[in-house]
Structure 1
């Protein structure tokens, strides 16, 4: 019984930049092209596409208001900025790909500043800082088995020369997201939003 109560009182959380609908549609079209490689990939669903700012993991619901208040203070004055989605890549690399991603360009210095401020205020609240490993990207999908990797890499390479800019994002705030893991995949819900120009 105690374990069930603990589960109810905890949520899996992360801070994210959510995307406009038109950009999500373009990313889904890109996924559709890449699907023809017939690699064994778990593609991120359209409504779940986002840019991660900070993953928090399982958090007691009683701490949510404290987290939002601290990030609101830390992010205030960062200002609105623009990010451009362009290019494709793989983590940890194209030889043994596990994740396929879209690159992020334009005002990256402001995105990194925002990430740093979130990291610092979350560190005060007890979260480990991973600011050194922050690599801005948007995850399109995760390979379930590495053996199909080269087929997908080849498909991506053919596209890259003609890909161009996928879309521009005006970042005016970040959202605290709740992720509920289900058999059909994660379901995300916005719990709170923090504006950057206050």
Structure 2
């Protein structure tokens, strides 16, 4: 596949439509606890779970990165994920992201190992220091800060209903291109890698 020179890339896990639908119902119920002047919701069709973010990658480096990600996928196994909990990144005093939490239903570490491998793939191939970022915490970003608003009202935040527990089976990961536009980002799925299987490529698929 021919790639454009210089692309903003990340690897992640897609969220199935039925899970998105239920999270959307929860979000509509709780979003009033966040000041709309300071927070911008992320459109549900863009919801995903990032494993590693690589930033701008030159076209010549993408194939090397893809090969490493294929190895990560081959060494991983399918798993069941579960939603639950919510929070702020990086900290309540300077929040940038409001998220819904995700964890392995079995309580194992397969997801963390997969994320670590994907981060290391970026560090090894495109010299992005993804392997040395903060500890991985699985989440779905549902809103981003518009402007710094100071310390969050934690009492108000704690009044939110918890994210419903929703399970789904994960058997693949995707390499995405993030295209920044004035109306918001678009994500183009470049490649899909089956866990413990073979990889196959998709062309021009936007989500």
Alpha-carbon spacing, 1:148–1:121, altered in 2? closer, same or farther (3 Å): closer
Give aligned pairs, total. Answer: 188
Length-normalised TM-score, structure 2:
0.80
CA distance, structure 1, for counterparts of residue 111 and residue 178 of structure 2: 23
The match for 1:27 is 23
The match for 2:132 is 130
Gaps of 5+ in 1: 1-7
Residues 1:144 and 2:146 are matched in the alignment: yes
**Structure 2 counterpart of 1:12, from 8, 12, 18:** 8
Residues 1:60 and 2:58 are matched in the alignment: yes
The match for 2:202 is none
Gaps of 5+ in 2: 198-207
Alpha-carbon spacing, 1:149–1:43, altered in 2? closer, same or farther (3 Å): farther
CA distance, structure 2, for counterparts of residue 67 and residue 12 of structure 1: 13
C-alpha displacement at 1:142, in angstroms?
1.4
C-alpha displacement at 1:108, in angstroms?
5.2
Length-normalised TM-score, structure 1:
0.84
Residues 1:178 and 2:173 are matched in the alignment: no
* Greater Cα shift, 128-137 or 175-184: 128-137
Higher helix share: 1
For residues 93-140 of structure 1, the C-alpha deviation after alignment (integer angstroms, 9 at most, x for no partner) is: 334433211112224511111012222233221221225522222211
- What aligned pairs does 1:62-101 form with structure 2 within 5 A after superposition? 62-101=60-99
The match for 1:190 is 189
Alpha-carbon spacing, 1:173–1:69, altered in 2? closer, same or farther (3 Å): same
C-alpha displacement at 1:14, in angstroms?
0.3
CA distance, structure 2, for counterparts of residue 189 and residue 111 of structure 1: 23
For residues 154-181 of structure 1, the C-alpha deviation after alignment (integer angstroms, 9 at most, x for no partner) is: 4542233xx3534212111110001110
Alpha-carbon spacing, 1:164–1:29, altered in 2? closer, same or farther (3 Å): closer
The match for 2:119 is 119
The match for 2:167 is 168
C-alpha displacement at 1:92, in angstroms?
2.9
Q: CA RMSD in A?
A: 2.2
* Greater Cα shift, 112-121 or 101-110: 101-110
